[in-house]
Amino acid sequence: MLSKLAFRNMKRSARDYLIYLLTMTLVSALMYTFNSLLFQNDLKAYWNTEGMLEAMVALATIFIVLITAWLIAYMVRFMMEKRSAEFGIYLLLGMKKNTLAKLYLRENILLGILSLMTGMSFGILFQQILMAVLFSMLRMDYHLHIALHPGTILMTTLSYGACYLFALSRCRRKFKKMNIRDLMEAGRRNEEIKERHETIKQLLLPLSILFIFLFWTFFGSLATNGDTILFIIGLVVTIYLFYIGLSARIICYVRKGGKMIYQEQNLFLLRQFSSKVRTMQFTMGTLTALFTLTLMGSSFALMFSSWQNTLSDHKFPFDILLYSPDPADDFAKEIQFLEKSVSVQDAYPYRIYTDGDDQVNAWMLTHLTFWGTMYQNPDGSPDMTGIRQMLENESRYCTYDTYMGLSDYNHLRRMLGYDEITLSGKEYALQVKPRLEKEVQHIGDDLILAGADGSPSLSCGGIYAEPFSQDGHNGGDYIVIVPDRVLSRMYPYYSELALDIEGSAPLGLRDKLSELRYDKTNDLMFEGNDECPALKGNRCYGSDIIFVFNTVNEVKEDLRTSLASLIASLTIPLFYIGLVFLCAAVTVLSVQQLSDSAACRFRYDILSKLGLKEAEIHRLILKQLAAYYLCPALLAILISGKMMLFAGERFVMATGVPLSPGSFFLRSIALFFGIYLVYFAVTYISFCRNVTGGESRS
């Protein structure tokens, strides 16, 4: 009997809380999809991240379990409150509290099993989509391959079960505390609106706005981590106080008889909104925090994925580029090997030179934003002792300035499809990373370099900023291009071999090259020959941050794959967390509104009797829901906006991605509102149906 009752009640709950059921189905589908990456990753062979993706998905799962448990606990408590009168009747009929608790648990578990089963079947479909996306990120073809994996099913069931275990653990205790009279009365009790100290409470609104303003003004310039943490704590408190202040402000406005309340149905709307915010202020605060995290997560994910599109072309413009610390290397072994493995169109060995000086390095260290004032004296002049020390001990830059001959440079430009350049005998050119183009504009004002005869006579004849593999191959950050005859007074510093091949290199070529060149690159790295000091410190990787690829064997195809998998390891968990957080939060919003529609039906019924047309009532519902949905979303945008603009600026600066810092955030908002709108539309339609659908009979 109990099972039958539980099953029937579950069916009713599934109907009454359809949005909740759909969200739980979506969550289990997402769980299945992302867990499948741990067990069914067809890309594992190419996935060069050494367990990073697995670790990130596992970490994300912890967050997902926690937030889903919160959602379930919230819904279990909520449904319990809504059904208190029914529970009262069960108790009145003689059902024991323990049995009642069992019944309710059974209903919820049935609901969970239903959504888990449906979710996993969708998950199989989602998994195929995710795999197709990942394959396309790696620019590979994917063929549908639908398969159930026991590991994925077990992991999904376990994490889903953990959510329920967390959520339902306190349920039995709640039933113990129940009292028949309270339960029966609960449904009939009027919502009591207590208005106390509103005049004082309303001050919280301007105060929280002021704090958010201060946050916008000072967040970027906070000096220490302590300050940042204090600001974040302040922000969390502000989110919660904002709603107390907002509700009090509206109440004061209505009480004062503000002009707006005498127009249309504003009075009803304002009161409705303020009383809802009042009773829900804590939940609203939590939802705002969740939205903020969602927006930030998806912005970061978008940042990385947009970067991924340009990164491999920017970082690895050459099909194959090999470094050799030996300035006399002719790469005969490598060319012979490569000719067997790929169809070589052009193999070009060349040298990088140095003049044994460090004036270009010093200029970079004192002028690039990345270095700030680290290598400047208090008066702004270069701190030469610090610079010398840095160049000798760290490998961001080579110990001495790096040069390339014009003919070599033009040959490489041709290989990459760029136009050739010309230099007069008294000019040098500077080739830098794309992101540094703006920062080196004035280098010509400061630097006059020595010509072929050693006298300072070369002035700057141009700056070029096309992608040119400048993470240690063609210099670090920069390389100076000089007329070939100037090279006669310089030392060969190290050697490079650039290859242009037909089609793309087979995956795994880089590993084979590493094996082949192990002795060459390992023995001589960083170790100069004492007789030839120029050989010292000829390996560097430039001033990039976030992704630094310090590799001697640059094979575009292999590196692009591992870069894509590395970025996917970051973006996938971020999207996963963002999606689940958003769905959980917006479900709470929707369920709150829909369960209220019973009380609202009565209110809208009165308004209809007062002469409001159906279209006007629909408009009123739209306004009411819109205010309720927009409020936490806008606050979240306001808060995450500052952080993301700041992070976006830093990101653009560090990576040189040709996008404006706000664009990631805007795209993340668009994504956010896409999902938000779906929930909003479903809620609006159901709300209208609940309120105005079906004739009421008295």
Binding residues for other proteins, rule: CB under 8 A, are: 190-193, 254-255, 257, 259, 261-268, 271-272, 275, 599, 602-603, 605-606, 608-616, 695, 697-698
CB closer to other proteins, 193 vs 681: 193
Three-state secondary structure call for residue 424:
coil
- How far is it, in rounded angstroms, from Cα 517 to Cα 69? 53
Burial of 244 (0-12, 13-18, 19+ CB in 10 A): buried
Query: From the CB of 633, what's the least distance to other proteins, in Å?
Result: 23
Six token digits for residue 252: 């004061």
CB atoms within 10 A of CB 404: 25
Q: What are phi and psi of 429, to 5 degrees?
A: -125, 160
Q: Are 177 and 79 in contact (CB under 8 A)?
A: no
For other proteins, which is the closer residue by CB, 417 or 694?
694
Amino acid at 191: E
As a whole number of angstroms, the distance between CA 542 and CA 549 comes to 10
Nearer to other proteins among residue 263 and residue 336 (C-beta): 263
Query: Least distance from C-beta 98 to other proteins, angstroms?
Result: 35
Minimum gap (Å) between residue 193 Cβ and other proteins: 5
Give the shortest CB-57-to-other proteins separation in angstroms.
46
Closest CA to 110 of 21, 208, 234, 238: 21
Task: Kindly tell me which of 392 and 614 has the beta carbon lying closer to other proteins.
Answer: 614
Rounded to the nearest whole angstrom, what is the least distance from the CB of residue 260 to other proteins in the complex? Answer: 10
- The continuous run of DSSP H or E covering 640 comes out as helix 614-655
3-state percent helix, strand, coil for the chain, nearest multiple of 5: 65, 10, 25
In the complex with other proteins, which residue's Cβ is closer, 264 or 439? Answer: 264
Q: Number of C-alpha atoms within 13 angstroms, CB side, residue 25?
A: 15
Alpha-carbon gap, residue 609 to 526, rounded angstroms: 88
Pairing mode, strands 456-464 and 427-432:
parallel
Shortest distance (Å) from residue 694 CB to other proteins: 13
Q: Which is nearer to other proteins, 438 or 613 (CB)?
A: 613
Of 58 and 267, the one with the shorter C-beta distance to other proteins is: 267
> Residues 295, 636: contact at Cβ < 8 Å?
yes
CB of 16 to other proteins, least distance (A): 23
- Judged by beta carbon, residue 316 or residue 604, the one nearer other proteins is 604
Q: Six-digit token pair at 692?
A: 């105005």
3-class secondary structure, 491:
strand
DSSP 3-state of 250: helix
Of 1 and 610, which has the nearer Cβ to other proteins?
610
150 vs 262, beta carbon nearer other proteins: 262
Nearest CA to 238 out of 227, 246, 249 is that of: 246
Q: How far is the CB of 614 from other proteins (least distance, A)?
A: 6
Nearer to other proteins, 500 or 605 (CB): 605
What are the tokens at 483?
């007329």
Torsion sign, CA atoms 647, 653, 657, 661: positive
In whole angstroms, what is the distance from residue 566 CA to residue 580 CA? 22
Q: In what order do the strands lie in the sheet with 449-450?
A: 449-450, 456-464, 427-432, 478-482, 403-405, 344-354, 491-501, 320-324, 553-555
CB of 588 to other proteins, least distance (A): 21
CB of 195 to other proteins, least distance (A): 8
Instruction: Compare residues 7 and 602 and give the one whose CB is closer to other proteins.
Output: 602
Q: Which is nearer to other proteins, 275 or 341 (CB)?
A: 275
Shortest reach from residue 637's CB to other proteins, in Å: 28
CA contacts within 13 A on the Cβ side of 361: 30
Minimum distance from residue 279 beta carbon to other proteins (Å): 10
Angle at 562 between CA 556 and CA 564, to 5 degrees: 95
The distance of closest approach from Cβ of residue 275 to other proteins in the complex, given in angstroms and rounded to an integer, is 5
Q: Report in angstroms how near the CB of residue 625 gets to other proteins at its nearest.
A: 16
Rank residues 193 and 229 by Cβ distance to other proteins and give the closer one: 193
What is the residue-wise DSSP string for 431-468? EE-GGGTGGGTTHHHH--EE-TTSSEEEEEEEEE-S--
Of 684, 640, 643, nearest to 239 by C-alpha is 640
| Contacts of residue 157, Cβ cutoff 8 Å, sequence gap at least 6 | 116
Number of neighbouring beta carbons within 10 Å of residue 519:
8
Q: Which is nearer to other proteins, 384 or 606 (CB)?
A: 606
| 217 vs 411: CA distance, rounded Å | 50
In whole angstroms, the minimum distance from the beta carbon of 280 to other proteins comes to: 13
